[in-house]
């Protein structure tokens, strides 16, 4: 067993390691001058896309040169704000027309098209900001991760909470040994959207409720190019059960439910703080899996082996449990911790740390009343978008590059894979397969519809 770095020096070593990492992770492709204006194309201009567009466009030195959306309402609205930008409905045509002329691309489409919208940019060595989750399945996620590494460009997955002061501080506390060795983590989110009774859907404020795939055929609204919206997904006739978003995210054809959506945010914190990567095993439970629709509530248990971390030492094995919807940790049910609606609980050898998006507590509180917190050692970015823009110019390192976001996304997908199979899976990261479980393969990879390819 490799030697364990002494606790008394871990904090200083972490700060030093972070500084070294920041230099070594700078993108290989950057602009000649930090003052160069960036020409950015935006794929997806409504919802999150509209927010990303407005935030990035307000940054200094940014030119919005292209807009793309399958919904003409959003495209027209964005075009009115940026009249000099070229407009497209099909991002494949955007790349054919001006792909070589842009510096960066922002992808804010439904997750089933993330990889197909982002991959051409990486193949052209363009910087990419892609909304979460990184891709629809593990195969697409792995391919994007590898393409980003090969391109050497600045990438960022759109988990804006990753740049928050609270998340940074929690990571500093965990990595500074505030609660000792962490062997158990619980993550819970209260959103209960997906397959459930009409009564439960109403109680849980679910915006859509269905128990089977719609059979009726409805004409798509005139403003929507439904065929382009489907993209690489299997053909399904238009129906209001899928559109507008985020209705689509509960259908396995187009999304992966709350696990891949909110898991991108909430599982991010333990993944980062504990330096997790690929789990060894995953086991899930919940209502019987539906072939078409993701569950409203479920639990997934991840077992992570001990990790040898350069400049840190050997970190102990960790069990991380995801609780979704009505499912909650036992310690929460029994009143052992404050009953926050959603949260992350780290259980260590010296105590516990409870966090949500904006606040955190060291528990039991009376045992930490004389606790001296560590000095901050993680650089706090001006914002998630600005951090990416700075990285594009070679002046910063992104907090959620595809090299980090890829393994996080894969782990979230594995929770759904275990749930849909109804069995415990053992994961082989290198072979990208569930050991002794060939029936998992269709859940890891799917062939795209005719006319679509990742190249």
275-287 pLDDT, tens digit each: 999 999 999 999 9
H-assigned helices in 135-191:
138-151, 165-175
- Is the domain spanning 25-162 CATH 3.30.750.24? The answer is no
- Sequence spans of domains, the chain: 25-162
Band of pLDDT at residue 293, cut at 50, 70 and 90: very high
Length of the chain as a residue count: 455
pLDDT of residue 271 exceeding 50: yes
Give the mean pLDDT of 75-92: 99
pLDDT of residue 24 exceeding 80: no
Give the mean pLDDT of 218-246: 96
Torsion angle, alpha carbons of 237, 242, 248, 254, to 10 = -10
Angstrom CA distances, 155 to 16, 22, 141, stand at 23, 14, 13
Considering the chain, what is the average pLDDT of its residues? 93
Res 209: pLDDT: 82
Q: What is the DSSP letter of 269?
A: H
Give the mean pLDDT of 24-47: 72
Evaluate whether 214 touches 243 at the Cβ level (below 8 Å).
no
pLDDT of residue 438 exceeding 90: yes
Give the mean pLDDT of 137-143: 99
Instruction: Report the alpha-carbon distance of residue 360 to residue 363 in Å, rounded.
Output: 10
Res 28: pLDDT: 47
Instruction: Report the alpha-carbon distance of residue 191 to residue 255 in Å, rounded.
Output: 16
Strands 425-428 and 360-363: unpaired
- Judged by average pLDDT, the poorest of 227-231, 241-245, 342-346, 415-419 is 241-245
Q: What is the pLDDT of residues 96-116, one digit of tens each?
A: 999 999 999 999 999 999 999
Instruction: Report the alpha-carbon distance of residue 116 to residue 136 in Å, rounded.
Output: 10
Q: Which of 103 and 455 is assigned the larger pLDDT?
A: 103
Evaluate whether 353 touches 346 at the Cβ level (below 8 Å).
yes
Angstrom CA distances, 139 to 403, 432, 443, stand at 14, 8, 9
Q: What is the pLDDT of residues 333-385, one digit of tens each?
A: 999 999 999 999 999 999 999 999 999 999 999 999 999 999 999 998 899 99
Contacts of 184 (CB under 8 A, 6+ apart): 318, 319, 320, 321, 346, 347
Angstrom CA distances, 60 to 36, 38, 46, 323, stand at 10, 9, 22, 41
pLDDT of residue 15 exceeding 70: no
Res 210: pLDDT: 84
Give the mean pLDDT of 12-33: 46
Q: Is the peptide bond before 133 cis (omega within 30 degrees of 0)?
A: yes
Phi, psi of 208 (to 5 degrees): -150, 145
pLDDT of residue 320 exceeding 60: yes
């Amino acid at each position: 067993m490799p030697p364990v770095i002494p606790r008394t020096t871990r904090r200083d070593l972490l700060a030093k390691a972070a500084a070294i990492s920041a230099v070594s992770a700078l993108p290989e492709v950057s602009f000649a001058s930090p003052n160069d204006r960036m020409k950015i194309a935006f794929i997806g201009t409504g919802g999150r896309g509209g927010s990303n567009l407005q935030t990035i466009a307000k940054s200094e030195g940014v030119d919005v040169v292209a807009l793309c959306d399958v919904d003409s309402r959003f495209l027209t609205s964005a075009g009115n704000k940026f009249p000099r930008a070229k407009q497209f409905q099909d991002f494949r045509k955007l790349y054919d027309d001006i792909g070589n002329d842009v510096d960066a691309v922002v992808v804010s489409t439904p997750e089933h098209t993330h990889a197909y919208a982002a991959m051409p940019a990486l193949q052209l060595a363009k910087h990419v900001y892609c909304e979460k989750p990184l891709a629809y399945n593990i195969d697409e996620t792995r391919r994007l991760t590898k393409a980003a590494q090969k391109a050497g460009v600045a990438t960022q997955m759109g988990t804006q909470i990753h740049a928050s002061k609270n998340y940074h501080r929690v990571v500093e506390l965990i990595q500074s040994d505030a609660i000792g060795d962490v062997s158990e983590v619980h993550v819970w989110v209260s959103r209960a959207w997906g397959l459930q009774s009409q009564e439960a859907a109403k109680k849980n404020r679910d915006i859509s409720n269905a128990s089977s795939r719609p059979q009726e055929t409805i004409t798509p609204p005139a403003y929507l190019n439904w065929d382009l919206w489907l993209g690489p997904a299997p053909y399904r006739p238009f129906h209001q059960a899928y559109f507008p978003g985020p209705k689509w995210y509960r259908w396995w054809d187009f999304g992966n439910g709350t696990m891949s959506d909110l898991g991108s945010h909430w599982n991010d914190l333990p993944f980062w703080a504990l330096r997790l990567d690929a789990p060894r095993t995953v086991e899930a439970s919940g209502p019987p899996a539906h072939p078409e629709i993701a569950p409203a509530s479920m639990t997934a248990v991840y077992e992570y082996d001990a990790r040898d971390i350069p400049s840190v030492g050997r970190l102990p094995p960790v069990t991380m449990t995801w609780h979704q919807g009505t499912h909650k940790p036992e310690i929460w049910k029994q009143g052992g911790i404050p009953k926050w609606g959603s949260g992350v609980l780290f259980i260590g050898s010296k105590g516990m740390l409870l966090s949500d998006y904006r606040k955190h507590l060291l528990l039991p509180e009376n045992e930490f009343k004389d606790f001296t917190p560590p000095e901050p050692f993680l650089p706090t970015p001006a914002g998630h978008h600005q951090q990416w823009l700075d990285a594009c110019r070679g002046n910063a390192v992104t907090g959620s590059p595809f090299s980090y976001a890829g393994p996080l996304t894969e782990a979230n997908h594995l929770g759904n894979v275990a749930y849909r199979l109804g069995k415990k899976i053992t994961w082989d990261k290198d072979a990208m397969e569930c050991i002794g479980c060939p029936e998992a393969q269709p859940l890891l990879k799917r062939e795209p519809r005719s006319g679509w390819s990742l190249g």
